[in-house]
């Protein structure tokens, strides 16, 4: 419910902006990089990859529908009673569909651009042997984009995923979360009007 309210607020914010304020121009892109679980002993660092589209709604604001796949590395534990041998466990993986709001230099024209990122997503966490968890999640981060031409750019991003969940079987428990940081490199192609 909370996730739906957040999504609604986000969508309304975007719809209320005059779409004619910016000559229509959009991009599609792919990205990949490093996935760093935060404070999770049952996983290790892994990989991330995804697809995104950018639709600028003003010179300084854009929305980005996106799909992101994060694979955690296997968790490890040392077993003292067996001579400190190490055993591992599947670290799990996330599939997220979401919309990011990107604010800053978002036009994607030639040159260096920087922006902030705030987003919501529906994220599914799957781990071998356990029931899947699907929850509303949050993304936040920053990005730097270098436009090689007016149509082609490379971006570097640092983002954080907050995946909150509550165990409804345990009334004493509070809402906890899993958190992952990602560092990605992406390639984007822009369609629409050139600056020149």
Partner 1 sequence: MKKTFMIALKIGLGIFALLMMLGNNCITSGNIVVVIDNLPDLVGQTNTTFDSSPVDLENNSDWKDHRDQLNSVDDIGFACKITNHESSVATGQIWISEKLYSSPADVRTSAVKILDGIAIPAGGIRSIEWKESADFLSNFSEAKTIVYSASSKKEMFYLYFMVAETPFHIDVKDIIVFLSVNGKP
- Provide the CB-side half-sphere exposure for 52 (13 A, CA): 29
Q: Estimate to the nearest angstrom the gap between the alpha carbon of 35 and the chain centroid.
A: 11
| Residue number, 48 or 61, with CB nearest to partner 1 | 61
What is the end-to-end Cα distance of the chain in Å, rounded?
A: 46
Q: Would you count residue 177 as binding partner 1 (CB under 8 A)?
A: yes
Cβ proximity to partner 1: between 162 and 187 the closer is: 162
- The answer for 33, left when phi > 0, alpha when psi is -120 to 50, beta otherwise, is left
Instruction: Judge contact between 137 and 121, C-beta under 8 A.
Output: yes
d(C-alpha 113, C-alpha 84), whole Å? 50
Q: Tokens for 188?
A: 């984007």
114 binds partner 1 (CB under 8 A): no
Structure token pair of residue 161:
């995923």
Task: Give φ, ψ of 167 to 5 degrees.
Answer: -85, 105
**Interaction of residue 167 with partner 1, rule CB under 8 A:** yes
Task: Identify residues 70-109 at the interface with partner 1 (CB under 8 A).
Answer: 74-75, 77, 79-82, 87-90, 101, 103
Stretch that binds partner 1, among 3-11, 27-35, 146-154, 180-188 (CB under 8 A): 3-11
Q: How far are the Cα atoms of 3, 7, 15 from residue 123, in angstroms, in the given order?
A: 11, 13, 24
- Of 2 and 196, the one with the shorter C-beta distance to partner 1 is 2
In the list 32, 164, 181, 192, the residue contacting partner 1 (rule: CB under 8 A) is 164
- Record the tokens describing residue 19, joined without a space: 């779409």
* Minimum distance of partner 1 from residue 77's CB (angstroms): 5
Nearest distance in Å: CB 106, partner 1:
9
Binding segment toward partner 1, per CB under 8 A, in 37-45, 46-54, 142-150, 183-191:
37-45
- Measured CA to CA, the distance from residue 158 to residue 142 in angstroms comes to 6
Give 36 or 138: the residue with its C-beta nearer to partner 1.
138
Assess contact for 154 and 160: CB atoms under 8 A.
no
Q: Does 130 bind partner 1 (CB under 8 A)?
A: yes
Q: Which residues bind partner 1 (CB under 8 A)?
A: 2, 6, 9-10, 13, 17, 38-43, 58-61, 74-75, 77, 79-82, 87-90, 101, 103, 116, 118, 120, 127-131, 138, 140, 162, 164-167, 169-170, 172-179
């Amino acid at each position: 419910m909370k996730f739906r309210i957040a999504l609604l607020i986000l969508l309304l914010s975007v719809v209320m902006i005059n779409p004619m304020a910016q000559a229509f121009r959009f991009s599609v892109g792919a990205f990949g990089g490093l996935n760093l679980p935060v404070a999770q002993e049952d996983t290790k660092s892994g990989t991330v990859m995804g697809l995104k589209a950018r639709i600028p709604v003003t010179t300084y604001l854009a929305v980005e529908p996106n799909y992101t796949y994060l694979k955690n590395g296997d968790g490890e534990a040392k077993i003292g009673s067996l001579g400190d041998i190490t055993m591992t466990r599947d670290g799990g993986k996330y599939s997220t569909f979401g919309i990011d709001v990107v604010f800053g230099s978002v036009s994607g024209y030639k040159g260096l651009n920087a922006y902030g990122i705030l987003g919501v997503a529906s994220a599914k966490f799957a781990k071998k042997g356990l029931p899947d968890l699907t929850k509303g999640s949050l993304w936040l981060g920053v990005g730097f984009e270098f436009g090689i031409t007016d149509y082609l750019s490379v971006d570097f991003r640092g983002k954080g995923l907050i995946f909150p969940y509550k165990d409804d079987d345990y009334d004493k428990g509070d809402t906890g979360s899993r958190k992952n940081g990602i560092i990605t490199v992406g390639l984007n192609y822009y369609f629409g009007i050139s600056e020149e």
